[in-house]
Amino acid sequence: MSAREVFLVGLSHKTAPIEVRERVALSGDALKSALGELKAMNGVREALVVSTCNRVEVYVQALDDGPAKHFFTSRAPKAGDHLYVKGGVEAVRHLFRVSSSLDSMVLGEQQILGQVKEAYGLASAAEAAGSYFSRLCNRAFATAKRVRTETDIGRGITSMSQVAVELVEKIFGDLKGRGILLAGAGKMGTLSAKALASLGADRILVTNRSAERGQGLAAQVNGHFRDWDELPRLLTEADVVIVSTGAPTYVVTRDMLAKAMKARRHRSICIIDLAVPRNVDPACAGLSDVFAYDVDDMQKVVDSTHEARKGEALRAEAIIEAEVMAFAREREARAALPVLVQLRRRAEAIARAEAERTLATVGAKLDDRGRRSVEAMAQAIVNKLLHGPTVRLKESASGGDGALAGAVAELFGIEANVEPIPRAPRAAPREAAEANGAVPASRAAASSDPT
């Protein structure tokens, strides 16, 4: 019997170098159409793609991990060597860890949660994410919030922008009398420019292909907008350059920078490339008096500076473990619901039929109010009778025991469609479904989510 469950296939800064990540990273419309493709693949019911500069992860609710793997191998054949694959509870745990920033380059950073939320928003707008991912993601967001409020993981260097500040500080000390250039409207770049402004930069210049967006950005960071065509000249004016455009190619090339360095009379320049795919030619770092960094270099800075939050990470892991288990139990409780729904539906049908029969014989002697009383009485009997069993069924299912639901189905002769659930150590959902006894494989696969 095959059933759908959640699978994750992905690669991140921990498993793949930036050269591979930039080949599979997607955003905007490209991501939307990729979600559409995923959804259309055989056996995939729901899909979610988290694509940030540090990771690309594909979550699918499907029969196997094939479609998710195909997402990567079709884009970059080399990606196959860097993938990690998780299924069921493992995948759920991974998403919770990612959202809570435990898997981040900068442990405890705050942007990843927003990025996962954005990914979910995009997936549900593209109708790739349905009720299952809705519950999964909401639980992940709640977990992240718990981790943030109950641990100190967010203290200290907790964002890429702070890493940028750290780097720039080690080169220039402060930025008095110097200029920052923000090229491109990437979110990370904007945050970094804002953070760097705290080092006392004299001026912030902003350039962007789209002038309108650039001007808005300039107003946001308190800077001056310059035309995108001026970029080579701007490189001679600014001492710190943050590049984060969505361009798939290098916008700062070695030649361009070499010329700028000559014009600068070799005053030092720091270039931080926050874009994936990279926007600054890696060869630029070889020029003298040029300090150029990409996202992976930032990781090395983080490694050298953070130790303190590791203890907090352990506490966060405990919270995540509890949430993963709670999520799995909740899923199991939901698995008992089809039995309940069927049971209630059948009882209500009987009550309605009996009430109608009664009214057919004695209804003529009753006024409207009397009729309604008879109907209400029948409904009340159903409610009272089913209250106890409902509570006990929910309890036993949330405790990981699917046997009672099976017994009820058996006893009342109900055919319940039981949604497959993530494999938790304490429960074997397929066994539970089989114990329910009534679900042929094809129907289980085709059944809609119970809520």
Partner 1 sequence: MSIVILRIAAALYAGATAAYVLYFARPKHARLATSGAVLLALGFAVHGVAIGVGCAEYGGMEFFTLRGGVVLGIFLAAGAFLAVQRITNLPSLGAFILPFILVALLPALFGTPAHPELAPETVRRPTVTLHIMAATLGDALFMLAFLAAVAYLLQEREVKGKKFGALFPRLPSLEVLDRLVQRLVRAGFVVYSVALVAGTIMATSVWKSAWSWDPRQVLSMLVWLLYGLMVQLRHNGWHGRRFALLNLPGIVLVIGSMLALQVFPGTTRHTGDYGASAPSEVRQ
In terms of CB distance, is 7 or 172 closer to partner 1?
A: 172
Site string for partner 1, 54-93 (x = CB under 8 A): ----------------------------------------
Q: Could you give the angle at the alpha carbon of 387 between the alpha carbons of 383 and 391, nearest 5°? A: 150
Interatomic CA distance for residues 360 and 337, integer angstroms: 34
**Length, in residues, of the chain:** 451
Range 237-266, binding partner 1 (CB under 8 A) = 265-266
Least separation in angstroms between residue 305's CB and partner 1 is 6
297 is a site residue for partner 1 (CB under 8 A) = yes
Least separation in angstroms between residue 250's CB and partner 1 is 19
236 is a site residue for partner 1 (CB under 8 A) = no
Interatomic CA distance for residues 353 and 349, integer angstroms: 6
- Cis geometry, peptide bond prior to residue 420 (ω within 30 degrees of 0): no
Residues 6+ positions from 399 with CB-CB distance below 8 Å: 329
Least separation in angstroms between residue 318's CB and partner 1 is 27
Least separation in angstroms between residue 261's CB and partner 1 is 12
In terms of CB distance, is 264 or 334 closer to partner 1?
A: 264
42 is a site residue for partner 1 (CB under 8 A) = no
Residues 6+ positions from 424 with CB-CB distance below 8 Å: 88, 89, 325, 328, 329, 332, 400
Q: Dmax over Cα atoms in the chain, in whole Å?
A: 105
Residues 6+ positions from 434 with CB-CB distance below 8 Å: 1
Helix (H) or strand (E) holding 393: helix 368-398
Residues 6+ positions from 442 with CB-CB distance below 8 Å: none
Question: Which residue, among 102, 90, 96, has the nearest Cα to 139 in the 3D structure?
Answer: 96
Catalytic-residue membership of 270:
no
Range 154-193, binding partner 1 (CB under 8 A) = 167, 169-173
Interatomic CA distance for residues 299 and 23, integer angstroms: 19
From 2-10, 289-297, 318-326, 403-411, give the range in contact with partner 1 by CB under 8 A. Answer: 289-297
In terms of CB distance, is 14 or 145 closer to partner 1?
A: 14
In terms of CB distance, is 42 or 304 closer to partner 1?
A: 304
In terms of CB distance, is 268 or 390 closer to partner 1?
A: 268
From 7-15, 52-60, 119-127, 293-301, give the range in contact with partner 1 by CB under 8 A. Answer: 293-301
**Hey, which residues are catalytic here?**
53
- Residues in contact with partner 1 by CB under 8 A are 167, 169-173, 265-268, 285, 288-289, 291, 293, 297, 300-301, 303-305
